[in-house]
Amino acid sequence: MTDSEIKDFLEERLHHYNNRSFISNDPISIPHQFSTLQDIEISGFLIAIISWGNRAAIIKSGMRLMEIMDHAPHDFILNHSASELQNLERFYYRTFQPVDALYFVHFLKEFYQKHSSLELAFNHGSTMKERLISFEQLFFESPTAPKRTKKHIATPSRNSSCKRLNMFLRWMVRKDPNGVDFGIWSHIKPSELICPLDVHVGRVARELGILVRKQDDWKAAEELTAKLRTFDPTDPVKYDFALFGTGIDLKKA
């Protein structure tokens, strides 16, 4: 396929998936339950972090987490009691265990006591790579940070594709005319985003010939995004919908 044909294919798939019907079967449905900036970004961050595996299982666990937070994540983060915090000791999702959940709440409380938006945690650095490296360092600067929790916050410094963080940033940053992504942050431009790279996206991208690197790592995410920018320099990660949706459909076939 020529680049023009690939772009036409991606645009057609984009219009097929990037619409309100996408929301209900995707983890992004969790933050769509809220209307205030802080509730959206806190719920979105937590759900993005546990977004691996079956989407139905992710949503189920996300709903359980929101129930523990009494469907008011910002208020819970700032004002939880000791007994309310104990409820997190029963929250598990695969390798995300209570000790991890408790530290996430600890970090978020410390952060929101000083700042009005989680966006400020991603403002350090001139490139997305630098922003993500800086965020991981900020997240674990507390001496109480559990060593095991580090695996749940990816960083390009370990050559991770940072799929879940890049997905969360797409949700927060991308100005979506179809109302799936929120676009509630303004300091990062949509053109700066890196495409979330998982097994589905990587497989379709390689079949289309827009990704050569074999590993699903940070270098591959940068390579793929650079190619997507040739199709749309201002909003390259919109094609995540096309690549991911096509990959899911191929898995079902």
Question: What are phi and psi for residue 97, nearest 5 degrees?
Answer: -110, 170
Contact at 8 Å (CB) between 247 and 200?
A: yes
Structure confidence by residue, pLDDT tens digits, 143-176:
999 999 999 999 999 999 999 999 999 999 999 9
Q: Where are the domains of the chain?
A: 3-252
Widest pairwise Cα distance in the chain: 60
Decide: helix, strand or coil at residue 233.
coil
Residue-level length of the chain: 253
Categorise residue 159: left if φ over 0, alpha if ψ from -120 to 50, beta otherwise: left
CA distances from 152 to 4, 111, 149, 195, 251 (A): 38, 18, 6, 19, 26
pLDDT at 253 over 60: no
Averaged confidence pLDDT in the chain: 96
Type and span of the H or E element at 173: helix 163-173
Distance CA 211, CA 202 (A): 7
Distance CA 200, CA 196 (A): 10
Identity of the residue numbered 141 = E
The full DSSP string for 39-66 is: HHHHHHHHHHHT--S-HHHHHHHHHHHH
Average pLDDT score over residue span 15-26: 95
Question: Confidence band (pLDDT; 50, 70, 90) for 248?
Answer: confident
pLDDT for 200 = 94
The neighbouring-strand residues paired with 217 are 160
Q: Could you read off the pLDDT of 81-119 as tens digits, one per residue?
A: 998 899 998 899 999 999 999 999 999 999 999 999 999
Closest CA to 224 of 205, 247, 245, 200: 205
Q: What angle do CA 145, 199, 163 make, to 5 degrees?
A: 35
Identify the pLDDT of residue 249: 83
Residues contacting 84, CB < 8 A, separation 6+: 68, 70, 76
